[in-house]
Amino acid sequence: MTAIHTATLGLALEGGGAKGAYHMGVVKAYLESGHTFGAVAGTSIGALNGAFIAQGDFEAGYRMWESIDALSIFDIDEAEYRQLLQWNLDKSTLWKMAAKTKKFIVNRGMDTSKIRKLIATVVNERLLRDSATDFGLVTVSLTDRLPLELFKEDIPQGQLLDYLIASASFPGFQPAEIDDKLFIDGGLYDNCPINMVARKGYKHIVAVRTLGLGITRQIKYSGVTVTEIVPSENLGGIMNFNRLLIRRNLQMGYYDAQRHIHGLLGLKYYFYSESLNEQKCLHLINAIPDKTIYSLGRMLGIGGLPPRELRSAQIVEKLTKRMRLPDKVSMQTFLIRLAETLAEAKGMNKYTVYTFDDFIRAVRVGPLKNTAGFGVRQVEICMAAQAIFDAVGRG
């Protein structure tokens, strides 16, 4: 993806609590690649992250995420936090959530004063208002039962921080109070405000998804191109501020964005596209020795002794079904998923960009580690992958 001028590129950040670390990894990759954003709109944690970005202080926001943990933002003890992690949250319970402990009930929800204090150390209203970058957020007036989509120019002076907290006041938190009205999380109206950015006239929009709880709306505007960056793995719970998980999600966002920006291959790992074309894939399959082909055939239950070419095709077909890939998948996708399956079982580092040759050399080495809960199907895939890549490597 080539750099697009700031006047035409917008950014929408989906709400998702602790999953918001993913936003910052994505934006880091875009900024490092020379992209800039003319508009940023976000909901809930997306609004908070969007404020860092729009005011031109991305690095401070990124450092905040690197050091954050649950007890630095929630005024609760460890036992209450563990209870918070066990909340059974889904879209149907967003309006029905009740406080789970005595402290939550007394305070009309979980205290957000520590969150406010933390955000106030990074967000600067003057910088945000003076920035040339458009900035918007979504919240819901609990008092009026009305959604609000507000750009910075719509928010009264001195109240930007108030509305940021309002956008992120998840059900179960204390509602934000502004001018005698109560406000809650904007995810109850639009959790990924692509339409807000489009309304400002932006035709190319990067939408960073977290797959968090909330309502998402269809795009209302024609002629808008949206690049969705979607997590390649589960980001964890919306309340899970475990520091190791946060740092993993920062990395995941960075590399998932690199996949889009630079056209990298892979689903769970990341490969330079020029390192594995279809011709090379066919060459790798044809390089598998007859002995390996026949032993794989026996393992996968292929009867008889058909010609080598037919037997190879049957092996690919069997493994394609075991990996639950589409019937007519390309040989490139087949080999990548086969290698990735083995790599995951061996616990190989995901957050780097490989050439496919380097990846195969690495995946051949070492024992299987992450096989808890594996059934016969997964074990067979790993055994077949090991045999194929060992044979190709020896060749």
Catalytic residue (choose from 134, 185, 190, 256): 185
* Residue 6: CB atoms within 10 Å: 14
Give the whole-angstrom CA distance, residue 350 versus residue 359: 11
Instruction: Give strand ranges (E) for 44-174.
Output: 134-141, 146-151
Give the whole-angstrom CA distance, residue 374 versus residue 223: 46
Name the nearest CA neighbour of 94 among 231, 198, 24, 188. Answer: 188
Judge whether 138 and 196 are in contact, CB under 8 Å: yes
Instruction: Tell me how many degrees the CA angle 319-320-324 measures, rounded to the nearest 5.
Output: 115
Name the nearest CA neighbour of 254 among 6, 66, 30. Answer: 30
Which residues make Cβ contacts (< 8 Å) with residue 392, sequence separation at least 6? Answer: 284, 287, 288, 360
Judge whether 355 and 275 are in contact, CB under 8 Å: yes
User: Hunting for tokens 């209302």 — which residue is that?
Assistant: 220
Q: Based on the residue annotation, tell me whether 130 is a catalytic residue of this protein.
A: no
Structure-token pair, residue 86: 């066990």
Q: Based on the residue annotation, tell me whether 167 is a catalytic residue of this protein.
A: no
Which residues make Cβ contacts (< 8 Å) with residue 226, sequence separation at least 6? Answer: 194, 205, 206, 207, 219
Residues with catalytic function:
44, 185
